Amino acid sequence: MNQSKVSGNFLFNRLKKYIVMPLSMSLFLLVSSGCWDRVEINDLAIVTGIALDAASHNNIQLSVQLFMPTGAGGGTTQGGGGGSPGGQQQSFVISANGVNIADAVTNIEEKTSRRIFWGQSDTIFFGKKLAKKGIGPSIDFLTRYPKPREHAYVFVAEGKGKKILEYKPHLERNSSEVLRELAKKQTGMKVSLKDLAQMLSDPYESPVLPWVKYRGERARISGIALFSGDKMVGRMNKQTTRGVQWLRNEIRTATITVNPKGKGRVSMYLLRSKSKLQPVIKNGTWEIIARIEAEDDIVQNTTNLDVMDPKVINKLEKDTGYLIKKRINAAVRQAQKKDLDIFGFSDAFHRKYPSVWKTSKDRWKDIFPDVTVKVNTKVKILRPGVTSKSTSKP
Amino acid sequence: MKIFRRTRRPRSTQKNQSVTIPPKNLKDSPLSKDLKQNLQILKSLYTDCSDVIFHDFVIGEKETAALVYIDGLSNIEEIDEHLLEPLMKENADAGSITAIKDQISISSTKKINKISDVINEISNGNPVILVHNLNTGLAVALPHWEMRSIEDPAAESVVRGPREGFVETIRVNTSLIRRKIKSPQLKMKSMVIGKYTQTQIVITYIEGICNQRLLKEIENRLNKISIDGILESGYIEEMIEDNPYSPFPQVLSTERPDVVSANLLEGRAAILVDGSPFALIMPISFWSLMQSSEDYYQGFIVGTTIRWLRYFFLCVALLAPSLYVAILTYHQEMLPTTLLLTIAQSREQIPFPALVEALLMELTFEALREAGVRLPKQVGAAVSIVGALVIGQAAIQAGLASAPMVMVVAITGIASFLIPRYSMATSIRLLRFPIMFLSGFLGLTGLMLGVITLVIHLCSLRSFGVPYLDPLGPTKKSSLKDVLFRAPMWSQTTRPHFTGDDWNKNRQAPGQKPHLGKGDQ
Amino acid sequence: MIEKRKITSAQMAIIMYTSITSTGILLLPSAAFQYAKRDIWLALIIGAALGLFTVFAACRLHQYFPKKTLIQYSEQLLGRFAGKLIGFIYIFFVIYLNSFILREYSESIISNFLSSTPLFIVMGSMVFVCSLGVRSGIEVLGRCAQIFMPVIVLLFLLILILLIPELEPLNILPVMENGIIPPIKGSLVAMIWFGEYILISSLLPFVSDPNKGLKNGMTSVLATLSAIVMVSLVILSLFGQLMGDYLFPVIVAARYISIADFVEHVEAIIMAIWVLGAFMKISLFYYVTVLETAQWFKLSDYRPLVFPLGLLLVIFCRWIFPNLQQLIESVGLAFTAFSVSIEIGLPVLLLISAFIFQKLRQNKGNQRNESV
């Protein structure tokens, strides 16, 4: 019938609209999805760590630690086999030189069959030499190029950064993972790419980066490298760094050992700590009052003191406070000697006294060495551990 | 008995006219006083129909009569006992139809005086007595045919709840509903659709709760259907949908009388179709397809939690493979480092791009599922063994699929089984393929665009004039309690509201929250 | 009536909220930061005043001319020629703003997620999806907004909660370091966003309960304000001075989240919010463009205009901004001046003339006919 013919045509038109169109479109998509941004994991060389070193002729040497998916024997063919590959290699390092980091990246791309993938790089190491020359240009690349993480941790390596990437750790998959975990524990300093960019953008604050030592097949964070602008100008040892960390409110794990009256030692494990900087400008003298609060547990006691005695605890608390104060003062002294504001004092003054700051901020370099720092500590020992008496002494 | 209430639709007769020309006059002709002539007409209509029985007999040794019925549709024993026996007695009276009716011991009879009525009655299993010299026949209700017994509905099983399901016989189905809702306000309007099948269809609703405009609309749409035959309620469903081009079901089909009753009580209407154990409920929303009857039979806290579990796995069923493809081929940096490295290891040997791998595995899974449904039960076990090999360890060992992909496919499969309505689960399964293409094309952006397109479609969809996403979009606060949660029985005081009209709002008295000890005092 | 379906005033408020908030949280913080620095939240609050005024003006005008859109009553108020001119400027403004939004969307997607996908594909796919929404009418857009709003709000709160451990609230201080001028400058940028509330003058005729329009509109402005202020404060306390260096600080912030080694790189969530929000906003502007153009030409249906105007939008977008730098540059200069002057000027002009019109009508009694 005529009517059915019409409806047939109509149906065909609708079919065209609802089925043929999407079908052809999805075919088109399937064909065209081969281009643009699609990249299979099989074609990626996953970067787990980056090292930047100074090379000859003012060049930069870029080393990347690449993950080896085949070498790891991840247990795809042998069900449940994955895991310890023994001495098998899980990652390797490639490096290339270039006039700047972008150039070096191109050179590395030329050496690898796969596309370099930066999105998972959690650690960035600067060699000492490059750090002394200036890290600014490299940081510019790392923050502008959208791939590396803002959360990546940045370190300065004693010697060459490449060395640290190259060593094979025992517990983790690769060395950059080791350093990342170390940084997270915050026994040493922890500076992320974002933090570094923040410090560099502030002309009054001096950046610091954790200093990585590599001795005897072990890498560890040991103190900090001090920067003036983007150039490394010195270092601070581990103990003094603790002082910096106290002031910057960045201490998370610590064991504080005091030595009351020279007989034996009492060690305390830090539970919580909090520090606050309170700037004061009085009669032209600039002063910082640092209030530090800490709560500890006793973990070891080799003295014959009764740690259940409130008086003893009181004494211990005072000793601990004194120790913290000593550390901080040492750090401040060193920083002031080098005229590097690594504590964020400038920010504190800026916030509290914006108008004074505006007029005298250009003289900050002259003011900082003379800022008096007063430390008020308030230590609380909460528990004497699980035993009350010292068990080592009769 | 409602068997005898017939609504003839004017249009269907017009259609008949156009196709079968000769019988038209015969069919519509009234019964004549001449028995022979009547039988002749009937026999000419039923040529080559070996199952139609014309039984001649004599009433009270005086008047010739004939009994017409279809073998297998009527109860022959009862015919012999209650119909033929009294009529064939010596003193039986054949003077009038009323007289005959008074002599037989059958509760339900109907006088008929048209050939077409004879056809209708015998088709429904009601034998017809035609008597010489009377131009009226008598149909007696003695239908009897083999049918399935009432069983636990296979597609909608519950742990707690009634274990009865509809069967293929419409009268049994109506009785199942009537047994639950005993009020005379439960109405069952009957009509016949299908030129050849003459299928009986019942629209059931509760007067005073169901909106009259909705009923009119349903009747209008049903009246427009002119079709050869209705073999399943799916035929009707496809003919009355609001948007025939939508992949989503716009009426709810169910085998459960308790689901139908619950929906009737909420003001919806249902269509029962003879020959199909599936009732159609309308209007529905997206959410009614995500609800199981058991939600209401267990505690509201459990019910609510399970609902949210379902909503979550709805998203998983729709998006998991697409998400996998998008992240693995576009946004590798979004994975935690360890996870990425693990996936990289397992994917190292796979020759396919992630999109192709996902498509391959998903298609295989769909094929297995379909094969499992269609195959006889004995072979089904074999399919599951093969299936475990194809999308399991063997595929991984052969290096054709990676272990994470197998996980994704498995989770997607389980997720799609969580959707309580089969029709909904099928459309979700279907829709994940275009979204997979989109995410293989534009990554997560493509995935989001796919989801947005889907939501636009859902927002513009209506089921009998009721917005499909109601009560979420447009938001109706009063109805949200049965979508975002499963409100406790004592707080479900109002019925859902479908359209702009007034509605029978109050379902039950408020303030029935049980208080411990109050009753004891 | 050119649009047969209706929305509720709550739906209208939600459409405006979702569309303005989602682009606002992405772009406004860094744009306003250029001027207002640490007082960005103050700038936002000042800027929101324009939003409140615009909603008030639109509702007032709607009271004078119920069932009429801006295009229709401006013609009635100012005469045929001037009315058409105002209408043309308004349509042009909406298209211009929309192409700006579309470009922002595409650029952020490209620079953060799909760096080598052609611009045309990113823009085209979005405009295509929007055109589906626009063709379905305002009712569907209203419902979509109701579906998307809880998603956007929840995801957004999730991001903020995940960021809490990283925050340094002291970064917000000092307040008003350089006096009130920088926040006021910054508020001009904020006004671009809040002034977009003028679009409700095109939606009010299709609202089923216009008497609630004012209340819901105001609520919408305040909700938008609080969302954007919240984000700005969070970003500011996360990045401090560095905030101005990022084009899309919220995305960087989301990338910075790292909890328990597993919840990392959640910028996908931001992208989800962003795509949903961009869809709502582009659709809204697209819809208003199409609707008002149809009314400008006095057509009986707007549907045939959907696809042609979509194509125009894509072309416009490529043509106005050759690259990202120009896009950012324009936020500062011409764009701000152009949009803010229209967003302030148009309602003020119409409100004053409506007032005079009303007075004239009262004076002349009922001599004057409704339709001029």
Q: Which residues contact A193 (CB under 8 A, 6 or more apart)?
A: A124, A139, A142, A143, A148, A149, A150, A151, A152, A153, A154
Count CB atoms within 10 A of the CB of residue B432: 22
Q: Which of C76, C53, C66 is nearest to C360 (CA)?
A: C76
Which residues on A lie below 8 Å from B328 (Cβ)? 40-41
Q: pLDDT at position A31, please?
A: 59
DSSP label of A284: T
Distance separating alpha carbons of residues A102 and A145, to the nearest angstrom: 10
Distance from CA of A219 to the nearest CA of C (A): 22
Assess whether B302 and B260 both reside in one domain.
no
Looking at residue A19, what is its pLDDT? 63
Final residue of a domain: which of B287, B310, B327?
Answer: B287
Counting every residue written for chain A, the total comes to 394
B484 in contact with C, Cβ within 8 Å: no
CA distance C141 to chain A (A): 22
| Residue B488 resides in a domain | no
| Binary contact (B332, A14; C-beta < 8 A) | no
**Residue pair B138/B113 in contact by the 8 Å Cβ criterion:** no
Regions of chain A with pLDDT less than 70: 1-36, 70-89, 145-148, 261-262, 385-394
Domain assignment of residue B162, yes or no: no
Q: What are phi and psi of C115, to 5 degrees?
A: -70, -25
Same domain, B276 and B207: yes
**Predicted confidence band of residue B508 (pLDDT cuts 50, 70, 90):** confident
> Which subunits sit against B, judged by 3+ Cβ pairs under 8 A?
A, C
Residue B51 lies in a domain: yes
Instruction: Please indicate, yes or no, whether residues B248 and B350 belong to a single structural domain of this protein.
Output: no
* C-alpha B447, offset from chain centre: 33
A146–C contact, CB cutoff 8 A:
yes
Residues B126 and B91 in one domain: yes
Pick from B340, B318, B317: which is nearest to B327 by CA?
A: B340
How many Cα neighbours within 13 Å face the side chain of B403?
17
What's the CA gap between A329 and A335, in Å, rounded?
Answer: 10
Point out the least confidently predicted range of A301-315, B226-240, B416-430, C301-315: A301-315
Tell me if A40 and B353 make a contact (CB, 8 A cut-off).
yes
Question: Which pair of tokens denotes residue A345?
Answer: 């004092």
> How far B394 CA sits from the closest chain A CA (Å)?
10
Question: Looking at chain B, how many residues does it have?
Answer: 521
CA distance C281 to chain A (A): 26
User: Which residues on C lie below 8 Å from A172 (Cβ)?
Assistant: none
Question: Per the CB < 8 Å rule, is B444 touching C113?
Answer: yes
ω into A210 cis (within 30 of 0): no
Q: Which residues of A204-227 are buried (b: 16+ CB within 10 A; e: fewer)?
A: bbbbbbbbbebeeeebbbbbbbbb
Which residues of chain C does A198 touch, with a Cβ-Cβ cutoff of 8 Å? 239-242
Establish, for the pair of chains A and B, how many residue pairs have beta carbons separated by less than 8 Å: 96
A83 and B CB contact within 8 Å:
no
Residue C225: partners with Cβ closer than 8 Å, 6 or more residues away: C44, C45, C48, C51, C194
Q: How far is C372 from chain A (nearest CA, A)?
A: 45
Q: Give the per-residue pLDDT at B271.
A: 94
C112 has a chain A CB within 8 A of its CB: yes
**CA quadruple A256, A260, A262, A266: dihedral, nearest 10:** -40
Q: Point out the residue among C116, C174, C245 whose CB comes nearest to the CB of A36.
A: C116
User: pLDDT at residue B310 above 90?
Assistant: yes
Closest partner residue to B333 (CB to CB) among C8, C114, C265 is C265
Which residue in C22, C117, C144, C209 has the most chain B C-beta atoms within 10 A of its own C-beta, making it the best mutation to test that interface? Answer: C144
Cross-chain CB nearest to C242 (options A198, A347, A358): A198
Residue B499 lies in a domain: no
Q: Does residue B439 share a domain with residue B300?
A: yes
Q: Using a CB-CB distance cutoff of 8 angstroms, which residues of chain A are in contact with residue B443?
A: 37-38
Q: Which long-range contacts (CB under 8 A, 24 or more apart) does B397-400 make?
A: B397/A77, B399/A77, B399/B349, B399/B350, B399/B351, B400/B350, B400/B351, B400/B352, B400/B360
Same domain, B360 and B435: yes
From chain C, the residues in CB contact with B328 under 8 A are: none
Tens of pLDDT, residues B324-343: 998 888 888 778 778 888 88
Range of the domain at B81: 2-15+23-140
Least CA distance to C271: which residue of chain B? B445
Within 8 A of A347 by CB-CB distance, chain C residues are 170
Residue type, B162: P
- CA-to-CA distance for B418 and B65, rounded, in angstroms? 61
B400 shares its domain with B275: no
B443 and B336 share one domain: yes
Q: Say yes or no for a CB contact (<8 Å) between C114 and B443.
A: yes
pLDDT of residue A76: 38
With contacts defined as CB-CB under 8 Å, which chain C residues touch B333? 265
End-to-end CA distance of chain C: 19
Residue at a domain's end among B120, B140, B160: B140
- The kind and range of the H/E element at C152 are helix C138-163
CATH class of C9-363: mainly alpha
Cβ <8 Å between C114 and B338: no
Q: Which amino acid is at B326?
A: A
Residues of A in contact with C242 (CB under 8 A): 194, 197-198, 201
**Packed helices C80-112 and C267-296: angle between N→C axes, nearest 10 degrees:** 160
Indicate if B265 and B310 belong to the same structural domain: no
Q: Is the pLDDT of residue B202 over 90?
A: yes
Contacts of A143 in chain C (CB under 8 A): 245
Contacts of A100 (CB under 8 A, 6+ apart): A60, A137, A141
| B347 and A CB contact within 8 Å | yes
Residue-level pLDDT at A204 = 80
Listed in order, strand segments (DSSP E) in chain A are 44-54, 60-67, 91-98, 115-117, 123-127, 153-157, 208-215, 218-228, 231-236, 255-258, 266-282, 285-301, 372-383
Asked if residue B417 has pLDDT above 50, the reply is yes
Measure CB to CB from residue A70 to each of B328, B333, B348 and give the nearest one.
B348
Residue B121 and residue B53 share a domain: yes
Query: Closest chain C residue to A200 measured between Cα atoms?
Result: C242
**Are B203 and B318 members of one domain?**
no
pTM attached to this predicted model: 0.84
Beta bridge partners of A93: A65
Is A114 near chain C, with CB under 8 Å? Answer: no
Q: Which of C16, C3, C10, C6 is nearest to C213 (CA)?
A: C10
Query: Between A146, A201, A358, which is nearest C112 by CB?
Result: A146
Question: Are B243 and B117 members of one domain?
Answer: no
Angle at B193 between CA B192 and CA B199, to 5 degrees: 70
CB-closest option in B346, B350, B354 to A74: B346
Reported confidence tier of residue B11, pLDDT bands at 50, 70, 90: very low
pLDDT of amino acid A30: 56
> Between C112, C173, C255, which is nearest A150 by CB?
C255
In the complex, which subunits touch C with 3 or more CB pairs below 8 angstroms? Answer: A, B
The residue from B233, B266, B287 where one domain ends is B287
Structurally, how many domains does chain B consist of?
Answer: 3
Is the pLDDT score of B21 beyond 70? no
Instruction: Give the minimum alpha-carbon distance from A279 to chain C in angstroms, rounded to a whole number.
Output: 13
DSSP character for C173? P
Relative to beta strand B269-273, strand B466-467 is unpaired
Per-residue confidence (pLDDT) for residue B320, from 0 to 100: 92
Give residue B281's pLDDT band: very low, low, confident or very high (50, 70, 90): very high
Amino acid at A257: T
Ranges of each domain in chain C: 9-363
Residue B517 resides in a domain: no
Per-residue pLDDT of chain C (372 residues; tens, 9 = 90+): 577 788 888 888 999 999 888 888 888 888 788 777 778 888 888 888 888 888 888 888 888 878 888 878 777 777 788 888 888 888 888 888 888 888 888 888 888 777 777 888 888 889 999 998 898 888 899 999 999 998 888 888 888 888 887 777 777 777 766 777 777 877 888 888 888 888 888 888 888 888 888 888 889 999 999 998 888 888 888 887 777 777 788 887 887 777 766 666 677 778 888 899 899 999 999 999 998 888 888 888 888 888 888 888 888 888 777 766 666 666 666 677 777 777 777 878 887 887 787 777 777 655 545 444
Give pLDDT tens digits for B110-120: 888 888 888 88
Residue B234 falls inside a structural domain? yes
Q: Is A114 on the interface with B (CB under 8 A)?
A: no
Q: Do C113 and B455 touch (CB under 8 A)?
A: no
